Structure 1
């Protein structure tokens, strides 16, 4: 049970502090909004309709007797009570996840657990082989997998909700150890009927007048900045007409003719009718695939995972 934090403001909270049991779904909804400060983006992350998300937040505020968010048409911000609930709520969900996992492991007769986070398209290349070898060499390890964006994964590693995560770099995070594993170039994703689709290598400056589709900067900062930097070096600033939180959504929007995109080369393994992948002429920038973990010495399950990753990448992680 969590208790709502007291609020010094006169209007957001009732005069009497309440401590009802919190619904974990509503808490998860609040955390998504609090982390993105955007109802639409939070609804996309949770795969739910925005009106339903707003209703969950209103009910949570009613239950707690506190205003958690200030919102108008242009912005969303946390109240002091909302910030307190965000910090405590994150810890509560991590502890609840640990308790659930412990019960599941006991029921399954398994003693080892490894919680692995990853983002696509990293899942296309290194991650499946790591998991395959880990399963073959250490069948006693129970794998809990979590797919999300790099920002979310790093935060979950920091809070202890994940043991290890594969993220895009270059990136830094307080309280998290990050090691670069490999680098890969970006490629251009074009509609198959595009005037440049017949070229084997596309000069970036020829995309100057094209609409771009990409990830929001708050979920993929390193990739977003790399794409923007490449375009600026080519003499233009990219015009992002649409943003999406998933790589396959971006490719699908390109296939629909809504624009072009620059994505890591590993997306080539995803075939989508109407979209083609082309190399960038010249010397394109690279993005990194990195592995993130907590600062404490790894336990047996994580050590086994790191040993396999080291063997596959020739990067010393132990």
Structure 2
């Protein structure tokens, strides 16, 4: 009985790097304030890795960006976002409010690695050829992408949730992408037929 009680107060959480950086700190603060006796064990990985983990029952709950349907998982959206184009403040686009897809394709591009939700979103918007070009650099960290753009090395499409601080500080300039579907959805995923623990249900309640 004691072991069952401990399991109910423990959450194995998987989360994508972007959400771990820009959503998790405040979410965890609120969670611990309301539920100080619950334990959270956190695994960080890209969307594909995390969906495999929850399907294999290695984690109880995952928070990811724009996940595809999975036969073993129940996927529930909890927040919407959009992609923006970011450039350095000295870039020639820094005086503009929007750019076209073709303009972005013609510039050196930074994006995330295959398997990540951002890579899939950028591929959907720009096409696979843009990500296979010699001028495209793929990095495993969103922060690294932003630093490269700040240094004037190219442009990037990135989630709106990730650039608020830099835009407010004038370190980056954000533009809308004209004529493109730039929507992003964040979702939580659980294994079908598996009831979440008390700890998991408490975290989901904060997302709704």
TM-score by length of 1: 0.55
The equivalent position to 2:205 in structure 1, one of 307, 310, 313, is 307
Give 1 or 2: higher strand fraction: 2
Q: Secondary structure at the match of 2:10?
A: strand
Q: Please give the alpha-carbon distance, in whole angstroms, between the structure 1 residues aligned to 2:120 and 2:33.
A: 38
Alpha-carbon contact 1:201-1:280 (below 8 Å) kept: yes
2:111 & 2:95 partners in 1: Cα distance? Answer: 23
1:242 aligns with 2:140: no
Residue in structure 1 matched with residue 104 of structure 2 by the alignment: 207
Corresponding residue for residue 292 of structure 1: 189
Partner of 1:262: 157
Partners in 1 of 2:9 and 2:43 — Cα distance? 17
| Gap runs ≥5 in structure 1 | 1-101, 311-318
Task: Find the residue that maps to 2:174 and give its secondary structure.
Answer: strand
2:37 alignment partner, one of 140, 147, 152: 140
Q: Secondary structure at the match of 1:157?
A: helix
Partner Cα distance (1:204, 1:298) in 2? 42
- Matched position secondary structure for 1:210: coil
Please, which of 227, 232, 237 is the counterpart of residue 122 of structure 2? 227
CA contact (8 A) 1:177 1:294 kept: yes
**Structure 1 residue 124, shift from structure 2 partner:** 5.3
For residue 59 of structure 2, what is the aligned residue in structure 1?
162
Residues in 2 aligned to 1:114 and 1:230: alpha-carbon distance in whole angstroms: 35
2:13·2:42 contact (CA, 8 Å) conserved in 1?
yes
Greater gyration radius = 1
- Residues 1:138 and 1:205: Cα distance change in structure 2 (over 3 Å): same
Distance 1:229 1:158, change over 3 A: closer
Residue in 2 that maps onto 1:115: 12
The two structures, once aligned, show a CA RMSD in angstroms of 2.8
Measure, in 1, the Cα distance between the counterparts of 2:195 and 2:33: 24
CA distance in 1, matches of 2:172, 2:204: 36
Residue 119 of structure 2 aligns to a residue whose secondary structure is helix
Q: CA deviation at 1:141?
A: 0.2
Partner of 1:12: none
Contact 1:124 1:269 in 2 (8 A): no
Q: 1:112 & 1:294 partners in 2: Cα distance?
A: 18
Measured in 2, the distance between the counterparts of 1:140 and 1:129 equals 18
* Aligned partners of 2:13 and 2:61 also within 8 Å: yes
TM-score, normalized by length of structure 2?
A: 0.81
Match of residue 184, structure 1, among 81, 96, 101: 81
State how many pairs are aligned: 199
For 1:208 and 1:304, the matched residues in 2 are separated by 43
